[in-house]
Amino acid sequence: MHRIPCLTLCAMLLCPAPLPASNVFRCEDETGHVTFTRHGCAGSQQQQIQNTHNPRPGSGAAVPLATPRVGNKDARASGNERRLTIVGGRQDGCDNAVTGNARREAIIRKQIRAGMTRSDVESALGKPERISKRNGQTTYHYASKHNSERRTVVFDQNDCVAGKR
């Protein structure tokens, strides 16, 4: 008979109570940089109270994480416009004509495609038997070890594969 109250007590202790939501301060300086803090903003920053209520998953409809705010048109007009910077785009000097899987597949199959770099060609075919230069173009000459077939790869002035003969 004492088991039922004991089990109820254990169940109540193991179920966590929902934590109350707290508020934080949203601080924005003159340049538009935004920080969030629980300790208040500096005197030179604009301060807004931000409600941080986070409902439990599955407790209702989806809640948006943020609402977009219309930018300050005066800041854009005064030349303080922010510019987008793309990071991580590798430029191979050949306008990235052959990229990713196509490059790897061609190297593995020992194929040469227009737009490949010198290092790509050397990865696929190895060091050339002979190198010739004429009118700003470089040509790699390869001789096949298995038959009398000869292969040439022509590079343009940017060291990109222009074509093959």
Residue 131: per-residue pLDDT: 92
Domains in the chain, start-ordered, CATH in brackets? 20-54 (no CATH), 100-164 (3.30.1450.10)
Residue 86: per-residue pLDDT: 61
Q: Between 138 and 165, where is the model more confident?
A: 138
Q: Between 69 and 131, where is the model more confident?
A: 131
pTM as predicted: 0.44
CA–CA gap between residue 8 and residue 108 (Å, rounded): 66
Q: Express each pLDDT in 10-42 by its tens digit.
A: 666 666 555 555 678 888 888 888 888 877 888
* Res 145 pLDDT > 60: yes
CB 36 within 8 A of CB 50: yes
Residue 85: per-residue pLDDT: 66
Q: Express each pLDDT in 74-91 by its tens digit.
A: 555 555 567 766 665 556
